[in-house]
Amino acid sequence: MLRHLKALAVMVSLLVIPTAAYAQASIVGTVKDASGAVLPGVTVEASSPALIEKTRSVVANSVGHYSIEDLRPGTYVVSFSLTGFATVKREGIELTGSFIATVNADMKVGGVAETITVTGEAPTVDVASTRNQQVISGQTVAEIPSSRQYSAFTHLIPAINVQQNDFEGSNPALYSVFQIHGGRRNEGQVLVDGMNGGYQGMGVSGYVPEVGNSQEVVFSLSGGLGEATTGGPQMNLVGKQGGNRFAGTFFVSGTGSSFQGNNLTSDVQAKGLTAANSIQKLWEVNPSLGGPIVRDRLWFFGTYRHQISRQNVASMFVNKNAGDPTKWTYDPDQSQQAVDDGTWKQGNLRLIWQPTTRNKINVWSSVQYSCINCIQGGDGTGLGFGASISSPEGSMTNENHPSTLTQVSWQSPVTPRLLLEANAQLGPYFWWGSRQKDAFDATLIPVQESAGAFPGINYRGANWSGHTGYTNIVQGAASYVTGSHSAKFGFRYHNNDSTFPKNYYNNSQLKYIFQNGQPNQVTVYADQASQQEQVQSMFALYAQDRWTVGHLSLQGGLRFEHLADYFPQQQMGPNIFLTNAVVFPAQDGPLKQKDLQPRLGVSYDVFGNGKTAAKFFLGRYATTFNTVDEWANYSPAGLGHFVSADTRGWTTTRPLTANILPDCNLLNPAANGECGPGSPFFGKQISPLTTDPATTNGWNTREYSWDLSAGVTHQIAPRVSAEVAYIRRSWGNLPAEINRAWTPADFDPFVYTVPQDSRLPGGGGYPLTFYDIKPGKFGQADNFLTFADNVGGAYNKFNGVDVTVNARLRDVTIQGGTSSGNVVEDQCGVVSKHPEFYIFGPWGGTGAFLDTFLGGIGQWPQAFCHRESGWQTNLKGLATYAVPKIDVLISGTFRSLPYAGNEFPSVQSQSLGGQVLALNIPGVVNQTSLGRPFGSGNVVEFLQIVQPGALYGNRLNSVDLRLGKILRYGRTKTMVNLDVFNLLNSNTTEVFQRTYSAPSTLPRSTYLDPLSIMSARFFKISAQFDF
């Protein structure tokens, strides 16, 4: 409660000084007389029903230039008036996003009472800005077939790469990460009226904002100046705000099993997929209402959304042995497919208050409850929300109870030249995690099977958790506009406070790893019910300006950021592996980073008619921050500094009784009894990791990218434009973790010869060299996190070309295009000097499960240190057509992708891989040339045998179609729709089995078998009543 009161006090205090909001649209231009001479002193007014103040006005400067900034989306009328001249009026100026519409005027001598109305097409080319934006209007959102989740719309932007989610419109309200042009996992941000809805600095979160009642959806893809927090894509949901008359909608949609076909063909079933993703029921109810409380003074707009989803899970079934303490295997009940369940309830309310002609206040609040996997659950691919293959009883619930987001903003055009804004955000606030689902979770030890028919499956029991996360943001700017110049100065303060992670395990605090039904590893947990907390704060100042000289517009921005961290007192234990609690005193974190980020853009109106613009942009962007990375890298109680989980080899010949435990001392790091060696740091307040101070302190030490774009935008017909752009991105300050206790001489090379196999690159048959830590060196740790360039070197870059088309005709809307590019990742310099860099940590290396480029469990050969995706192309588009006179709507979307997006995007994760279980029991079986046991003491380790980027699956193509009928009665409108998703009933594989086994008849090799295919064609009925 105290935290909330402090945040409220900060917010209120900041409302009295200038703070910044997000970029909105502008109208700019030049006023001349009939002779072509510039006219200073002309009063220019922009009026629209979108403005509660109705009209905004400025005065043209000494060279006839004017600029009206920060305008909401809508249709505007622009008028020009000056004593001695006839008033000129320009109607039908449509503004979207941060589009800068150029509206020039030629005034003739006459009386002020005389008005000349100029007709003409609204501008479609932004010749004054280098920012690349794509806008989907609220009308288009309502008219195209979609799930109305934000991921359905990120999927429609050609350049955006989206985590595989909602590709066929069947998935419910889940978070979905997205990136652009080879970017990082968290760079894509979902904004609500310009404020971040992500978790603790991430781009997205379990808070899933409502899209269906947006006035427009704005995608900012590149070219952001000083106010931009990321070089990645930002999806801004601009909400409706009510008006001077009551209006609302009631939307309902639904589908179920009887509305879905079947694309599980015999050839797919022959590859082992006997159960695909399918819908049991999926429905949504979404009413909204807005209007005046006091006309022209106080408006409101409120919505409520309720969703239910029950869907069958591909490749996963109910476990017949669930809850039976005497059983240790997963026995699928083929008659009971696992069901992924979710329920969401969300309410939103907005108030717009205009207390005076020069002050406007906007208050918006949202509360969302969600419960996922609360009835059953299950994951057959490992790429879903739980990110691990799991049976129903092995799946945690995921709950937000609740998540909240509140915004308060203030805007004041103090003079025609000075605009002040304030914006404060309380949230997202999260009370999230997973409450214990089954009573036996506390008593049964969960198991992960690494081989068998379901490699990687987690079953028998699940852990649970309870976290909180609080984000508070205040930001702002003062804009000073002279006509030729539009300058903005602002700041942003962002504070994250997280109690992540707080995990709960079974009473034994153990997890077993089996191979073909027999134990070979055990994981021990010491963080049962730990008390952990991370606090981050970022303060930013920025300045930017747009200067127009003739046909040329110059934009420049400079952003300063200071990132700091703090850790309140934290505690591990007491529990069965920590009989005495380990307490970490409150302390400042190591982050004292300061970044300067220059950005420069040039736009040139090639012919001076506002129809062709040549653009160039170059900017530096620091990689976004979050408390999860903070916990992993810098917290004294976090993953990198306190070893709270220890995985070690375990072999036993004893029968698997209900209460079997490893016959060894799990607190003794030396090999003993049935267990191999463990970590000497387990449960001890001795950090195995040292962080290079140069990476956490000083100027420009955060990871960053230089983003360059150059292109041409051209109006090819009235209200039709096209853009072609070249994009280059390159990253710097890449991190690397090495072990200073080891040298290359402490590793023995060994060869694994990949079998001949037509499914592998080049038909297989190639030898791969790996490295293994010498047994006497295993467990020695002096890990050091530093810049990759300090320990050999690494680089990462992207080159690509985007082509987009935008047509907004009277009855037709067409948007779409292509995005092609090649991602390059190179870590050869690091790994050639530090073999441990490509070996998974518990097996004698420093490789991280969540590594940016090569995540997961296993070892990579140094031969794969240079990776390229090859030129891959996205093709996406949407179209709507309202048939005149008969009020029939025909609309559709199309997507063609080279691969399904991934939770952790990289060349490795987007392409097809191959992971082999290499057995090594000297004198019994040895599938490598090592000639001795693995240094880790394990009898099996995972080796990666497929070069990332060498193999891809078939392209994913999807066509969705809507047929709608519009019924009008008075001022009401009802639209009844029939949507068809996956019109062509494609069954392309989305997720492949990546565990490799050589070709064989019995048992049949399952490598590259489908784990999940595209959802079969289904129909959905929806209706929207507007009143």
**26-51: per-residue pLDDT in tens?**
888 888 888 888 888 888 999 888 88
The gap from C-alpha 521 to its chain's centroid, in whole angstroms, comes to 34
Mean pLDDT of 368-391: 83
Counting residues of the chain whose pLDDT is more than 70, the rounded percentage is 96
Mean pLDDT of 354-383: 90
pLDDT value at 417 more than 80:
yes
Mean pLDDT of 677-691: 90
3-state secondary structure of 673: coil
Mind giving me the DSSP string for 2-20?
HHHHHHHHHHHHHTTS---
* Cα distances (Å, whole numbers) of residue 730 to 492, 555, 831: 26, 22, 20
Nearest to 174 by CA among 340, 312, 318: 340
**353-364: per-residue pLDDT in tens?**
999 988 999 999
Structural contact between residues 264 and 987, judged by C-beta atoms closer than 8 angstroms: yes
| CATH class assigned to 24-118 | mainly beta
- Whole-angstrom Cα distance, residue 955 to residue 958? 10
Q: How confident is the model at residue 6 (pLDDT cuts 50, 70, 90)?
A: very low
pLDDT value for 120? 67
Cα angle for residues 896, 901, 906 (degrees, 5° grid): 125
pLDDT value at 734 more than 90:
yes
- Whole-angstrom Cα distance, residue 442 to residue 436? 8
pLDDT value for 4? 42
pLDDT value for 21? 43
Residue with tokens 């100065």: 489
- Whole-angstrom Cα distance, residue 697 to residue 669? 35
- Whole-angstrom Cα distance, residue 27 to residue 68? 5
Average pLDDT, the chain: 90
Least confident of 181-190, 355-364, 515-524, 855-864: 855-864
Q: What is the strand order of the sheet 214-222 is part of?
A: 132-137, 214-222, 234-239, 189-192, 195-196
The conformation of residue 743, written as its DSSP 8-state character, comes to: -
**583-625: per-residue pLDDT in tens?**
999 999 999 999 999 999 999 999 999 999 999 999 999 999 8
- Is the torsion defined by CA of 673, 675, 680, 685 positive or negative? negative
- Whole-angstrom Cα distance, residue 408 to residue 476? 12
pTM, rounded to two decimals: 0.90
pLDDT value for 176? 85
pLDDT value for 530? 93
pLDDT value at 113 more than 70:
no
| CATH class assigned to 132-239 | mainly beta
pLDDT value at 56 more than 90:
no
- Whole-angstrom Cα distance, residue 98 to residue 546? 13
pLDDT value for 923? 74
**278-299: per-residue pLDDT in tens?**
999 999 999 999 999 999 999 9
Q: Where would I find the H helices in 51-191?
A: 138-143, 150-154
Cis preceding-peptide flag for 574 (omega within 30 of 0): yes
Q: How confident is the model at residue 11 (pLDDT cuts 50, 70, 90)?
A: very low
pLDDT value for 850? 65
**945-966: per-residue pLDDT in tens?**
999 999 999 999 999 999 999 9
Mean pLDDT of 558-585: 96
pLDDT value at 880 more than 90:
yes
Between 275 and 11, residue with greater pLDDT: 275
Q: How confident is the model at residue 23 (pLDDT cuts 50, 70, 90)?
A: low
Mind giving me the DSSP string for 257-296?
GGGB-----HHHHHTT-----EEEEEEEEEEEEEEEEETT
Mean pLDDT of 837-860: 83
Q: Any idea where the domains of the chain sit in the sequence?
A: 24-118, 132-239, 508-638+680-716, 720-808+812-877
**403-413: per-residue pLDDT in tens?**
999 999 999 98
* Tokens representing residue 402 in the block: 């609740």
